[in-house]
Structure 1
């Protein structure tokens, strides 16, 4: 039987709904942030996903509908999202392929591109960024909906590139320009903010395509157009309201890749969320430890070399030792529980699972990688 979500009325007209079961890991601080958001002027409904966790000033893993536009509810990484590209390779040996991954921390020369760059922003173009961003060569491990997988052209054993990145410094620049004048207040000129926001969303999508192309070229692989490219940090006008998403993917009839961790499966789902969920689904496993806690606990439990190989046999490319611990799989919630909550609440249907082969986080420092 589906688990009933927790619904709390902040005011007569504002509700907070958490789409998670009683056994799911939901921090009270994250729920408190949802209530704080619900108290903002113009707010109508806050829908929290099962990957909910506290963020800087606003919850991550939430979709928030309001008559007022609040840039801080989207955050600085406007346009961040996940794209999935089918890719063809022979003999996908993890160690061999990891050594061939390019340095995705070095930006591209924009003069080499034959298309306009949204907003004219060239800084960081073609780079993955830090934090939870990654580029992953993954294998389709399980097919859970044969018909839907077939429509996407996916079968067990197929390889895909999963790219999780955003607008890099572009979105940060947009948010900073707002907060320096208005702080956490609403946008004084919503149309002007949305114009810049839309450029950043397009920039993030372009960046994911460039990252995939860089990896495919380095691996000598054939790359297809993305079968998924969904942004999870954005605001959209819907039914006369501003629907803010921070760490929540559009879930009204879209296919969405919900990322696990570098040592666990991810799930590609068919999302069909309705108005109670603000037409949104989870975007990943969601953190259950702060970065400081993950670093402290990880160092006590693991070595660096242990974290560069996973129980699934995949390889992690990460030259930043601290980031290895901060992003350890144990720092995140169980992706299986997140997906179960979405299924129980009829927000999504799993289509395929993917297993990592090579996960790129930050370039290694070895001379062979400096290119």
Structure 2
């Protein structure tokens, strides 16, 4: 019989709908263990913030944004005045094109996975973002030294996924098999792995585009962890949906655009399916956040955050949907990871500029085509 374990303390709030989804997943054929992270919240058909081990591969447990993850890139700037830097962010709704001469291409190594050029170099919608942040405090000098970060350092945090490629892969499966298992796991995994590589490449290109725009040299990431993927571990399929690999990895657990985020050294074991939280986790649906936010906040208020950072977002609805108040307290999530001995905090970062989509004030208009609208952080 499969088991369910939730890695949250009694002080944490977990929606009953998310718990129900964990037990529904646990009832699937071949399921062995479901581990819910402290950022657990309901998703479309499966929980977000969960790691699920099974003898059977279920593509829908990974979802459509295969390869979505968070990467952290050091960046060196002479001055970091948020209001000025916000105006210099490039239009990350405009995709890169082969042969367009953009210097960001210099970080690309080899061919584009799956030859998928649509949306390359763009951030996407929903909970995705590119952020210039400052290292606010170091909690573990040994781990921080290993990563090469210290208080006051600047970093680019990039959260994006496979920009339509993963959706195409999932749809090819669901059109035939619905929410059922993969008929040919090897074939699915081959395409899945391309989407994971594509997501990592996209994060590098996004960071390079922003670095060049801000007058800095692109750098290699000190962290780049995918949190929507499946891997084979000990002969079983380990599905992660909004859960980062925690088996000795370094992970950026994202807060909100108005709170800190945390670099952690993860050391999760088998009970947690070798996974940790990937962010703060929503406490409001997008509809609720939009309805409540319009009563409490103005657009101008949401363009500045409680920590003094600037938000670049030309989509007013998205500003409300992704407001900091729509999320759980990141400090509670980190405390739960520590309480369950899943991770060691290394350093906190605070946002200076958070980019969601091109701002109308810059003369660009946000792309209104349908986008992935995940329910994770931001």
State the match for 1:38 in structure 2: 26
TM-score by length of 2: 0.94
2:87–2:362 Cα contact (<8 Å) kept: no
Alignment gaps of 5+ in structure 2: 367-378
Q: Does 1:90 align with 2:78?
A: yes
CA distance in 2, matches of 1:43, 1:146: 40
State the match for 2:144 in structure 1: 149
CA distance in 2, matches of 1:61, 1:367: 35
Equivalent of residue 59 in structure 1, options 47, 50, 64: 47
Deviation per CA, 1:284-304, whole angstroms, max 9, x where unpaired? 000000000000000000000
State the match for 1:122 in structure 2: 117
CA distance in 2, matches of 1:367, 1:359: 15
CA distance in 1, matches of 2:44, 2:364: 34
Superposition pairs for residues 64-75 of structure 1, below 5 Å? 64-75=52-63
State the match for 1:215 in structure 2: 210
2:289–2:321 Cα contact (<8 Å) kept: yes
Deviation at 1:368, TM superposition (A): 4.5
Q: Does 1:242 align with 2:237?
A: yes
Superposition pairs for residues 16-27 of structure 1, below 5 Å? 16-27=4-15
State the match for 1:345 in structure 2: 340
State the match for 2:287 in structure 1: 292
CA distance in 2, matches of 1:257, 1:329: 17
Runs of 4+ in structure 1 off by over 4 angstroms are 367-371
1:79–1:167 Cα contact (<8 Å) kept: yes
Deviation per CA, 1:148-205, whole angstroms, max 9, x where unpaired? 1011110100000000000010000000000000000000000000000000000000
Superposition pairs for residues 241-260 of structure 1, below 5 Å? 241-260=236-255
Deviation at 1:224, TM superposition (A): 1.9
Deviation at 1:366, TM superposition (A): 2.4
Q: Does 1:134 align with 2:122?
A: no
Deviation at 1:223, TM superposition (A): 2.7
Q: Does 1:331 align with 2:326?
A: yes
CA distance in 1, matches of 2:118, 2:319: 25
Q: Does 1:197 align with 2:196?
A: no
Q: Secondary structure at the match of 1:223?
A: coil
Q: Secondary structure at the match of 1:100?
A: coil
Superposition pairs for residues 74-85 of structure 1, below 5 Å? 74-85=62-73
1:85–1:226 Cα contact (<8 Å) kept: yes
Q: Secondary structure at the match of 1:366?
A: helix
Equivalent of residue 223 in structure 2, options 228, 245, 254: 228
> CA 1:368 to 1:90, structure 2 compared with 1: closer, same or farther past 3 Å?
farther
CA distance in 2, matches of 1:296, 1:236: 39
Alignment gaps of 5+ in structure 1: 1-12
CA distance in 2, matches of 1:367, 1:346: 46
Deviation at 1:91, TM superposition (A): 1.2
Deviation per CA, 1:54-78, whole angstroms, max 9, x where unpaired? 0000000000000000000000000
1:103–1:370 Cα contact (<8 Å) kept: no
CA distance in 2, matches of 1:110, 1:294: 39
CA distance in 1, matches of 2:364, 2:293: 26
Deviation per CA, 1:72-131, whole angstroms, max 9, x where unpaired? 000000000000000000110000000000000010003354630000100000000000
State the match for 1:366 in structure 2: 361
* Equivalent residue pairs, number: 359
Q: Secondary structure at the match of 1:330?
A: helix
